[in-house]
Every structure is written in C-alpha cells, then in structure tokens.
Amino acid sequence: MALTKRIGASVAAATSILVLTLAAPVLAYHAENVRDAGRIVGIVKYRGPAPTQREVEISKDREVCGRRPLYDESLVVGKGSGLANAVVSIANIAAGEPLKPGRDLKFDQRGCEYRPRVLAFPAGSTIDIINSDGILHNIHTESRINPTVDMAQPGFKKIIKLAVAKPEAIKVTCDAHNWMVGWWYVTDNPYYAVTDRSGGFSISDVPPGTYSLRVWQETLGTVSQTVRVKPGATTTTVFTMTAPKAPGMPHD
C-alpha cells in the first residue's frame, strides 16, 4: 500500500491514540515466592578490532534528520570491548518473580533515530510509540510470530499505543526513512537486561538454580552458557561474541 494511502487512513485528530492489540500470549512461566534470591551480573564483550561506525546518508527531511550526524548503530563496541545493546536473558526458567507486562514503555522517534534502539520487555506489554520529530514516520515491523505492523505516523499523531503479545525478536524500520532501524526483544519471563555502553548487565531476584543464560545481539546472533545461581549470592559471568561468517537477521 502506498505511504500516502496509509496517511489517509490515519486518524485525523492530533491528540488521538491508536491502540493495536495482538493475540493473547500463551506462556509456560508462572509466578511463585522466591526465597534466597541471587543475582547475575556480567559483561558482554566483542572479540576482534572494534568496528568503525559508519555515518548514514540522510536522504530526506534534512531539516530534522540532518541536524547532527547519524551513525549505523547495529554494532556498538565501547570501552574494554564491551558490547552495547545486547539482550541477556534466562532461557529456561519456569517460575520466579511475577511476569509484569509493561504499561509505560517508550519507543521514541527522535532526530530520525529510534530511542532506545533496542527495547526489551515482557510479552503482553504495551509500547508508547512516540513521534517527537513532528514529521511523517512509518512503523513497519518484521516478525515471525506476532502479526506484522505497517502504519503511518504523521507528525500530528504524537503517540501510537501497541500491545505485543508473544515472545520473539522484532525488527522495526521506517518506510519514510530507510536508515532507521530498531528492535523489540519480547521475553517470556521477567529475567532479562539490555547491556549498557560498556557491555555491562545485571539481573536480580533470580531463584537459586542452574540456568541457560542467553545473549542476543542484532548483528552477531545468539550465544548461551550455563550459570549457577547460589542462594543469596551474586554470580558473575563474561560473554564473548564474534562476527558471524554469513550475514543475516538473527532471531530467537
């Protein structure tokens, strides 16, 4: 469908909020009282020379998008080879702290970039997709499990609310600005974290036990390792990720 037709289908009122709710999730995880909870902390590192971030070409809406240089952030390596924007999660936990879907999650289109670039949240959460730029954007998702979303967000439509039901990694792009890329990492339990600029992460309130700890990164794919969480203790771990031999879009 042409982008102009999608604009015509948009709600005319500037203060309106579109609520798009997907199918209800079916999750095996359940809540229980957690005693002697532990914590997992660590760092995700990149093996190899730190890549040079490529400046992207601004081909449209330069008065908004070109106010400052924009760079490809698909692989951001910081101090000490720490890898930013990787999602760390426990892959095989059946019970623990309650899974609380988010109701105040912000995914902002600001300066023709997505902020944050990687947003992790539990299945069933509702996202506020914000248009801070005041120009036409378009939310277009690529997913395998949840229904695809493809809708215009004109400048007057400040917020779109979107509920995402099922766990998976969802790529988000903008048909109006082809350099814009973001990710929604939807989890089936509350034990996850997104690494900071130095690759650090922390996951708290973990029931004692042995788990498969998984790291996902949009360019490098997924790696896992086994960790043991002792009662009331902190488990420290380090992941190392390398570039894949064949490029592709990694998913869970």
Is 185 inside a domain boundary? yes
Q: Say which amino acid occupies 97.
A: E
Q: CA separation (Å) from 252 to 66, 146, 151, 155, 168? A: 34, 13, 25, 33, 6
Beta strands 118-122; 159-164: pairing state:
unpaired
pTM of the model: 0.86
For residue 101, being part of any structural domain is answered with: yes
- Do the domain assignments include residue 56? yes
Domain range spanning residue 184?
A: 3-241
- Structural domain contains residue 205: yes
Answer whether residue 251 is part of any domain: no
Q: Name the one residue in this structure whose structure tokens are 């879009």.
A: 249
Q: Evaluate whether residue 146 is within a structural domain.
A: yes
Count of CB atoms within 10 A of residue 34's CB?
Answer: 15
Q: Is residue 249 part of a domain?
A: no
**CATH classification at residue 47:** 2.60.40.420
Residue by residue, pLDDT tens for the chain (252 residues) are: 444 444 444 433 333 334 443 333 444 899 999 999 999 999 999 999 888 889 999 999 999 999 999 999 999 999 899 999 999 999 999 999 999 999 889 999 999 999 999 999 999 999 999 999 999 999 999 999 999 999 999 999 999 999 999 999 999 999 999 999 999 999 999 999 999 999 999 999 999 999 999 999 999 999 999 999 999 999 999 999 998 765 444 444
Tell me how many domains the chain contains.
Answer: 1
> What's the token pair of residue 13?
């009122």
Asked if 93 contacts 212 with a C-beta cutoff of 8 angstroms, the reply is no
> Is 250 inside any structural domain?
no
Neighbour-count burial for 101-130, b at 16+ CB within 10 Å, e otherwise = bbeebebbbeebbbeebbbbbbbbbbbbbb
